[in-house]
Structure formats: C-alpha cells, structure tokens
Amino acid sequence: MQRKLANVNAWTVSATVIMILLFLPNLTIVMGIFTPTNENWAHMKEFVLGSFIKTSLILVSTTATLTIIIGLSLAWLIAQYQFPLRGFLKWALILPLSIPPFIGAYTYHGIVNYTGVIQTTLRRLGIEVNHSFFDIMNLGGAIFIYTLFLYPYVYTITRIFLSQQSASLIESARMLGKGPWGTFFQVVIPISRVAIIGGASLVVLEVLNDYGVVKYYGIQTFTTAIFQTWFGLGDIESSIKLAASLMGFVILILMIEKLLRGRRQYSYSTTKVRPLPLISLKGWKARIATGYGLTILSLGFFIPIAQLVDWTILTFGTIPISQYLSYVSNSIMVAGLSATFIILFAVIVGNFSRLVYGKTAKLLPKLSILGYSIPGAVIAVAVVTAFIGLDRFLGPLYQFLGINTTLVLSVSLIMLISAYIIRFFAIGYNAIESGYDKIGTDFRDASRLLGVGLTKTFFKVDLPMLKGAIISGFILVFIDVLKEIPLTLILRPFNFDTLSTKAFQYASDEKIMEASQASLLIVAISALAIVIFYKFLEKEPN
Amino acid sequence: MKKAIYLVLAFVLLVLSACGNGTTTNTTSNNETTKSTETTETTETTETTDSKEINLYTARHYDVDDTLYAKFEEETGIKVNVIKGEADELLERIKREGDATEADLFLTADAGRLFRAKDEGLLQAVSSDLLDEQVPANFQDKDQMWYGLTKRARVIVYNKENVKPEDLSTYEALTEEEWKGRVLIRSGENVYNQSLLASFIEINGEEQAKEWAAGIVSNLARDPEGGDRDQAKAIAAGIGDVAIMNTYYLGQMLNSEDAEEVKVAEGLGVFFPNQETTGTHVNVSGAGVVKASKNKDNAIKLLEFLSAPESQTTFAEANYEYPVNDSVESTELLQSWGEFKEQNISLSALGDNNAKSILIFNEVGWK
C-alpha cells in the first residue's frame, strides 16, 4: 500500500511540475493584461484594431471550415472505401504538412506572378491575361495557402479515429440500411466530432500565431497589430497586452470546444481494434475518389515541390553545399530532442490527468496549449526573460564551477529547446491524450485489481497500447520544430543555423529561389519521417 | 524497469525544479539581481579585451556578410560568432540580457533601428581615426554610437515604355492627379517605408508628410502587397507605371538566375527623385558597439574592417549597395544609374520619427 501511494505521488508531482514550468513563461504574457493602457493602445483601438480583428476572424473561420471539409472528406474516403491509389494516398495526404506555410506562400506567389511559369507560358503562347486573375496576395490567397498546408491536421487525426474506432458503429449503421450519405452525416460526423474539433483547433491556433504568410501577402490581422506596436511603435508592453487578449480569445475557444465535446465515451470496447471493412468503389466513382485525393495532394505538395525543384536547379552551385550538412544535422538534433522531451512530458501529464478524478486535473494540461496561440516572437521574449533570470539565480553555482560569465543556459541550446517544448507541447499532448482516451481506464483497473502496481501497469498495459499515439505525436512535433521560425531565430546560440533559419534568411531578402534548397531539405526530412511513421503504423494491427 | 522510471522521473524533477525556482525568482526579484550584477560586471568588462573573439548580433542576412566575416577571421585571427535575427527581436534580447549580454556588436539594415538601440541605452560611443576617415560624418551617429556601412537609395522606378523620365520629378509629385491608379509601393509595415515617411516628417513636418501619405494611398494602383521586387514585377505586368523601391533589389533582379526576372528589370528605368529640391531618400546599414561589450577592441576592429575600401567594394559588387566610404568607386551598374543628391538630414531622425510614421500610415489607411 505504501509503495502504491509513493507511485501516485511520483506521477502527480512530476506532472504538476511539468505543467507549472510549461505555463510559467506564459505568465509574463498573461500579466500583460493588467498593464495600464497608453496612447499607443488607444491609437490601435481607434484606427486599426476593428478591421484587423475582422480580418482575423474571417481568415480563421474560413480556413477552419475549409480544412474540416477537405480533411474530413478525405479521411472518410480513405477509411471507408477502396479505390485505386488508396494505399498511397493514405499516407501521402499528410505530406503537405511538411511544407512551412510561409514557404508555400512564397512558392505559390512565385508560380502565379508575372515572371512565374503560368503567366510566362501564356505570354509565350501569345495569350493576353488579366493579371489580377492571378493575384494570390490577398485574403483569399492566404486562406488558400493555410488550407492547403494545414488540412493534414484534421485529416490525420480524423482518419486514425475513423479507421481504428468507428468500425462497429459504422457497420451497425450500414446494416440498419443507412446509405453512404446517411451514415456520413448521422453517424460519422457526430462520432468523430472530437477528432475534427481537435484537428481544427490546431489549425486555428496555427493560423493565429503565424506571421510569415500574412506579412508577405500584405494582410493585416491581429498578429500584425501585435508586431506593429512592438516593432513600429517600440512599445513591447502594449504588444504583450495585445497578445494577452489573444490568449483570452483562445481560452474562450477552448471552453467552447470543451462544451462541444460534451460527455463522451469512445474508448475501445474490446482489446481487438478491428479495422473497418472497405467498400470497393467502381467505375466513375472510383475515378472521382482517386482524382479528388490526387488534386488535393498535387496542390498541397507536388506543385509547390516541382517549383522548388525547378528553383533549386536554377540556383544550384550558387550556395556551397557543404554547409547544408551542418544545417541538416542541427535541424534533426533540435527537432528530435524537443519531440522526445515533449512526448515524455505528455505521457506523464496525460497519465496524471487520467488517474486523477476531477475537472481541474483535466483542464490544467489544456492551459499549456495557450502558448500555441501566440506569435512565436512574443513567446521568445518571455522565454529569454525567464532564462536570464534563471542564469542570474544560478550565478553562485556557475562561480563555484569556475565559469566566469553570467549567461550560461541562455546562450546555450537548452534555452531554444525549452522554448520548443513550451510551444509545441500542445501538439504532442493532443496526440497522447487522444491515445489515452481510446484506451480508457478499464484495462488499467483490471490490471490494478489483479494487484499490479501503477507504474508497472503503465509499462505493461498502457504503454503498448499507446505506441501509435506516441509515434504520431512525435512525428507531428518533429515536423513542427523543423519548420519553426521565430523562436529559432531569436533564441539560437551563436553560429547555429538550421534549415528553416536558412530558408527564412533568403526568403526574407526576397530571394525565394535561393531559399528553395533549404526548403526542399526540410520537406525531404519531414516526408521521410512521415513515411517511417506510416510503415510503423501499418504494422500495428498485426 | 521500475528503476528506470524512477531515474527518469528523478532527472526530470531535478532539471525542472531548478528551472521552476529560477523563473519564480526572476519574476519577483528581477530588478534587484540586475542591479547587483551590474556593478560586478562593469568592472570586469573594461579589462578583458584581449580575447580572440567577437560576438555579433546581426539583422543582415546576406551571404556576402559571411564571406567578409570569414576574411576578417583569416586576417586578424579573431573569431566572429554570429546570431542572425530580426532587428527588433535582437534588440529586445540585448535589452533583456542587460549587462550580462555576450553581444559585442549590433548590425542592422536601417538607421531607425540603430537610433532605437542608442535611444534605449544599448550602445556605447567608440572612436577611431580610421573609422572617421572611412565613414563620412553624415553616416555616423553624432555621438559616435554607430557607424553606417552601406548606403541604400529608395528611388522611383518606372516603366520605360510609357513613362518618360521628364514626367517624373519628386516623391511629392506622385500624389498628383495624373498618377491616379498608377503608383506601386509595398506595405507600411515595412521599415523602408517607415523610414521614408520619417524622413519626410523631418524635412516637411508632420502635416505635409501625412498629406503625402494620403495622396499616395489615393493614387495606388492596388493595395500594398509583396516586397520591393513584386512592385517591379507589377510594373511589367501593367498593373501600375511607377514604383517606389530600393535600388539594390533592381540590381539583384538584373543579375537573377531567372531570365524572366532579368527581362522585367531591363524594362525599368531608375529615377532619383527630388534632385532639384530636398534630395533622394537614403538609409544605411550600420553597426554599433554594444554598451556591455566584453570585446570592445575587436568590435572596433571589425567595424574598421567592414568600412575599409576592400570590404566596401565587396558589398557593392555582391549586393549592389552603395559604399559609404568615399574613396571607393561604386560598381559599373551603380554608376550607370547615375550620381544623385541625397537628403540632407540626420539619419537619427529616421528613428526619431518612426513611431509617428506608423501612426500616420494607420490613419491614412496605408495598409
């Protein structure tokens, strides 16, 4: 009995510590709400905030709707039907996630602008075109970009849910004579609500915190306001206050999500997770299914990749290749380390939240998602502040060790990796939490009844069933860190370059062609990770 | 197995509890700690200057810069450590690092940001005869807190086919009726535009500057979008006839690997506005020695190196920027665009008026 109690404490204590740490830097931002307003704030409110907020709302709601439509329909096709190329599309449809949205934005603009391949070809053929038809740099264009490169969040989460969990419900619906549309609207959408909302909320947060795309396309969103007060007016207090309001908005979304989830009970009913038997599509129906999947994949992956390859060939040799070796290894190292820590923490916190009854334990981990809604540059300031404080605190220890400088941790990779952990914990946690949800607590209770300790139960019972979630969480975080820009730029130590900082460096100087090589490498590594992930998951059912 | 998890948990707890303490202390007693370290730090900094390193925070991302740092290392044996980032974010980092900062030199591509760094007390005055000789007085800070390294001119670029240079005269003239729907320029979020407007505030006063901005907005061919290169392309596409942009982007396009971009650039003419009046707007890339620098001498050496004739030529050749060093001949391409009269204002004004220009952009609806 004594030992069991100790176990509970270890889980609880470490989970609490992790959550506090993840939340602390955000506290700097939350406190921003209480700073008094000044004339800059008044100016922003009078002239720009209204229209910025409106633009943000349109951007976020339209993107969320479109990603749900595309993500859900693809997930449903793949989970329910057999058609040509299904096996390939199943994993390939995740690939657009490997392209950072800002690179996608530059690339698409490169394709459709005056010197781009489309207009150039048309001119050669002697066709006069209305240029404004090809203008992608507007609100519609930004929605297009975000939808194409972010829909995989909805697709991945929903597909895994549908193919692993819904078999019995959908089969019952089929048996009771529901047609495909009836099944889709009356069964699939209601039961996969959690997965859909989970994916879509990641999309929403990602759109809210992104600055690269909207800045280049000249669209003024709430994020623009944050940076305008900071960079333009030099008033970081007001900009943190704006970021804090954004956080408040996100808390609201989270609460709504919680309400929408309502009471749910979706855990496995048996130990055998049966895949859904596939219905074969024939003739034109099969062609439409394949065509639809390929169209989305081409728009979100093959077309931009073709353009990037073209640019890489054009600029090949202008940048010494030898340097890329260190960028690649740096990128993989930080992404791998951060993903490992995040998953480890998420597993601990997730297990804690499952073991403890009560609403607070369920809600607390959700708060750690807050950081995800805020532009990385603002988080970075909070992290720098925290680490400089930590370094000063550890000063006596450094002196004891014979280190003569004040800043040790904050000029090392530890600061950068901690920042990644704070920022992307939500992504890893979402995956792990849904994994725990699927397992439920029945197996654990059985194991405990048989007298097995909590920790042993975790390793023998829960962990094997959690494997899929762990890997999918790891891959998602890994790719996100590979693509990350603002934190890496601000928090990196001296002489530390990654593929994404390199791609950004060229793109920000309007040298998109030179940026193509680093971008392609990011995509290649992410794609490789996705393929490995897929191979692993495929083995799962056996 | 059980041991393993205890080990992991113990490790996690150890690392994290340390962090936890640190962050809480920080929020409560940050000010105290800053003060106490201040005194010890400053005594240290002035003495330790013979190290073989210099730490650079730079907002310039060009490959040519790396080439020059490598050359500096080779010549002096002083290792250049670099963090590249965005100007305001790097400034914030230096500010928060305070006296403990490892940064020695802050390099950025806008005089406004250099002014801000100085204004926040992050830079220190340095003097060197060589620097004074290589960097003309009007491209230095008056208190010698920063030195300009390259010059960029923000000019009017026009479609050679339907605009004659005689049609153009000043920035102000672009607000006249005949240019309605023909003017292209990027977003007001961009620092080059902020500095341009800041210079007008300095020369003509806030009222007229605001009128100018409003006039440009009503003559725009389209809502501002994209970067400077995109404005040039929009001329080629027939969306507008004139664009305000920096010259070096045109240089880059003329030397692009993409034949289509070269074609676009060849169809454009460069016009230096306000030659009869207040002069063409110029801005600088420049650098200042960080106040808490621990390698001040090395930082000065790097400044001297970057403003020396050889480096100045490299900047001009590789990046099509104008040298600040008078003794350096600019390149053939730059010469082909012609000599021009520059605005005669203190570059610090660009920073001084930066916030005002943002407010004006917002008020007149310059997106």
Nearest CB to B96 within list A388, A411, A501: A388
Residue B32: CB atoms within 10 Å: 11
Structure confidence at residue A25 (pLDDT): 78
Nearest CB to A385 within list B96, B257, B355: B96
Pull the structure tokens for residue B25: 């202390």
| CATH number of the domain within which B115 lies | 3.40.190.10
CA nearest neighbour of A507 among A326, A308, A330: A308
C-alpha to C-alpha distance for A187 and A193, rounded to whole angstroms: 10
CB contact under 8 A, A456 and B1: yes
Task: Give how far B276 is from chain A: nearest CA, Å.
Answer: 31
Are B69 and B159 in a shared domain? no
B7 in contact with A, Cβ within 8 Å: no
Q: Is residue A337 pLDDT above 80, yes or no?
A: yes
At position B274, the amino acid (one-letter code) is N
Are B181 and B273 in a shared domain? yes
C-alpha to C-alpha distance for B349 and B330, rounded to whole angstroms: 26
Structure confidence at residue A538 (pLDDT): 63
Q: Is residue A241 pLDDT above 50, yes or no?
A: yes
C-alpha to C-alpha distance for B188 and A218, rounded to whole angstroms: 9
Average pLDDT estimate for A72-82? 92
Are B294 and B344 in a shared domain? no
Are B252 and B164 in a shared domain? yes
Structure confidence at residue B37 (pLDDT): 39
Structure confidence at residue A262 (pLDDT): 60
C-alpha to C-alpha distance for A163 and A141, rounded to whole angstroms: 33
Nearest CB to B229 within list A10, A389, A510: A510
- Among A49-63, A379-393, A528-542, B244-258, name the one with the lowest average pLDDT: A528-542
Is residue B64 included in any domain, yes or no?
A: yes
Is residue B55 included in any domain, yes or no?
A: yes
Q: Which chain A residue shows the shortest CA-CA distance from B116? A: A234
Q: Is residue B8 pLDDT above 50, yes or no?
A: no
For A262-279, the pLDDT digits (tens) are: 655 555 555 555 677 788
- Among A25-39, A89-103, A163-177, name the one with the lowest average pLDDT: A163-177
DSSP bridge pairs for B153: B282
C-alpha to C-alpha distance for A524 and B74, rounded to whole angstroms: 35
C-alpha to C-alpha distance for A348 and A351, rounded to whole angstroms: 5
Selected residue with higher pLDDT from A396 and B45: A396
Judged by DSSP in three states, A407 sits in coil
Are A277 and A72 in contact, with CB atoms under 8 Å apart? no
What value does the mean pLDDT of chain B take? 87
Rg (CA), chain A: 24
Question: Phi-psi region for residue B183, left (φ > 0), alpha (ψ -120 to 50) or beta?
Answer: beta
What value does the mean pLDDT of chain A take? 86
Structure confidence at residue A99 (pLDDT): 93
Could you tell me where the DSSP H helices lie in B190-246? 191-204, 206-219, 228-236
Q: Is residue B11 pLDDT above 80, yes or no?
A: no
Domains of chain A: 1-24+331-491 (1.10.3720.10), 35-315 (1.10.3720.10)
For the four alpha carbons of A247, A250, A254 and A255, in that order, the dihedral sign comes to: positive
Are A348 and A425 in contact, with CB atoms under 8 Å apart? no
Q: Is residue B319 pLDDT above 80, yes or no?
A: yes
Average pLDDT estimate for B4-26? 42
B11 in contact with A, Cβ within 8 Å: no
Structure confidence at residue A3 (pLDDT): 46
A228 secondary structure, DSSP code: I
Number of domains in chain B: 2
Average pLDDT estimate for A469-484? 91
**DSSP per-residue letters across A505-516:** HHHHTT-HHHHH
| 3-state percent helix, strand, coil for chain B, nearest multiple of 5 | 55, 15, 30
Is residue B18 included in any domain, yes or no?
A: no
Are B76 and B107 in a shared domain? yes
Selected residue with higher pLDDT from A333 and A410: A333
Q: Which chain B residue shows the shortest CA-CA distance from A40? A: B359
Are B250 and B322 in a shared domain? no
Are A217 and A365 in contact, with CB atoms under 8 Å apart? no
Most A-contacting residue of B5, B14, B23 (CB-CB within 10 A), to test interface: B23
Is residue B62 included in any domain, yes or no?
A: yes
CB contact under 8 A, B224 and A17: no
Which run of H or of E encompasses B159? strand B147-159
- Among A460-474, A489-503, B204-218, B241-255, name the one with the lowest average pLDDT: A460-474
At position A440, the amino acid (one-letter code) is G
Q: Is residue A5 pLDDT above 80, yes or no?
A: no
Average pLDDT estimate for B243-262? 94
Are B170 and B240 in a shared domain? yes
Structure confidence at residue A403 (pLDDT): 84
Range of the domain at B81: 47-150+284-329
Average pLDDT estimate for A28-52? 85
C-alpha to C-alpha distance for A127 and A466, rounded to whole angstroms: 57
Which run of H or of E encompasses B281? strand B281-289
Cα three-residue angle B226-B227-B228, rounded to 5 degrees? 135
| 3-state percent helix, strand, coil for chain A, nearest multiple of 5 | 80, 0, 20
Is residue B10 included in any domain, yes or no?
A: no
For A512-542, the pLDDT digits (tens) are: 898 999 999 999 999 998 888 777 766 544 3
**Beta-strand runs (E) in B61-220:** 79-84, 105-108, 147-159, 183-184
Structure confidence at residue B295 (pLDDT): 95
Give Cα B221 to chain centroid, integer Å: 27
Are B171 and B99 in a shared domain? no
Average pLDDT estimate for A293-317? 94
Structure confidence at residue B236 (pLDDT): 93
Q: Is residue A16 pLDDT above 90, yes or no?
A: no
Query: Taking a contact as any Cβ pair under 8 Å apart, which residues of chain B between 13 and 32 contact chain A?
Result: 13, 16-27, 30
Structure confidence at residue A8 (pLDDT): 59
> Which residues, in sequence order, are CB contacts of A162 under 8 Å at separation 6+?
A75, A76, A79, A80, A170, A188, A192, A195, A276
Is residue B16 included in any domain, yes or no?
A: no
For A367-419, the pLDDT digits (tens) are: 777 777 788 888 888 899 889 989 999 989 998 888 888 888 988 999 999 99
Are B277 and B186 in a shared domain? yes
For B107-143, the pLDDT digits (tens) are: 999 999 999 999 999 999 999 999 999 999 999 999 9
CB-count exposure of residue B115 (10 Å: 0-12, 13-18, 19+): buried
Average pLDDT estimate for B18-38? 37
B204 in contact with A, Cβ within 8 Å: no
For B180-212, the pLDDT digits (tens) are: 999 999 999 899 999 999 999 999 999 999 999
Is residue B65 included in any domain, yes or no?
A: yes
Are B162 and B302 in a shared domain? no
Nearest CB to B33 within list A40, A114, A392: A392
CA nearest neighbour of A82 among A274, A272, A292, A285: A285
A233 secondary structure, DSSP code: T
Give Cα A392 to chain centroid, integer Å: 33
Which run of H or of E encompasses B150? strand B147-159
Strands B242-246 and B147-159: antiparallel
Residue A417: CB atoms within 10 Å: 21
CB-count exposure of residue B129 (10 Å: 0-12, 13-18, 19+): exposed
- Among A147-151, B49-53, B229-233, name the one with the lowest average pLDDT: B49-53
Judged by DSSP in three states, B18 sits in helix
Structure confidence at residue B66 (pLDDT): 94
Average pLDDT estimate for B35-63? 65
> Which residues, in sequence order, are CB contacts of A310 under 8 Å at separation 6+?
A117
Give Cα A329 to chain centroid, integer Å: 22
C-alpha to C-alpha distance for A82 and A320, rounded to whole angstroms: 47
C-alpha to C-alpha distance for A166 and A20, rounded to whole angstroms: 36
Are B52 and B64 in a shared domain? yes
A372 secondary structure, DSSP code: G
Most A-contacting residue of B257, B266, B295 (CB-CB within 10 A), to test interface: B257
CB contact under 8 A, A216 and B227: yes
Give the confidence band of B12 by pLDDT, cuts at 50, 70, 90: very low
Q: Is residue B310 pLDDT above 80, yes or no?
A: yes
Selected residue with higher pLDDT from B3 and B32: B3
Selected residue with higher pLDDT from B12 and A168: A168
Structure confidence at residue B45 (pLDDT): 41
Are B162 and B228 in a shared domain? yes
Are A390 and A409 in contact, with CB atoms under 8 Å apart? yes
DSSP bridge pairs for B105: B56, B289
Task: Give how far A6 is from chain B: nearest CA, Å.
Answer: 11
Is residue B349 included in any domain, yes or no?
A: yes
Instruction: Give percent above pLDDT 70 in chain A.
Output: 92
Task: Give how far A73 is from chain B: nearest CA, Å.
Answer: 34
Structure confidence at residue A7 (pLDDT): 53
Give Cα B347 to chain centroid, integer Å: 12
Average pLDDT estimate for A177-193? 82
Average pLDDT estimate for B273-278? 96
**Beta-strand runs (E) in A55-100:** 81-82
| End-to-end Cα separation, chain A, in angstroms | 38
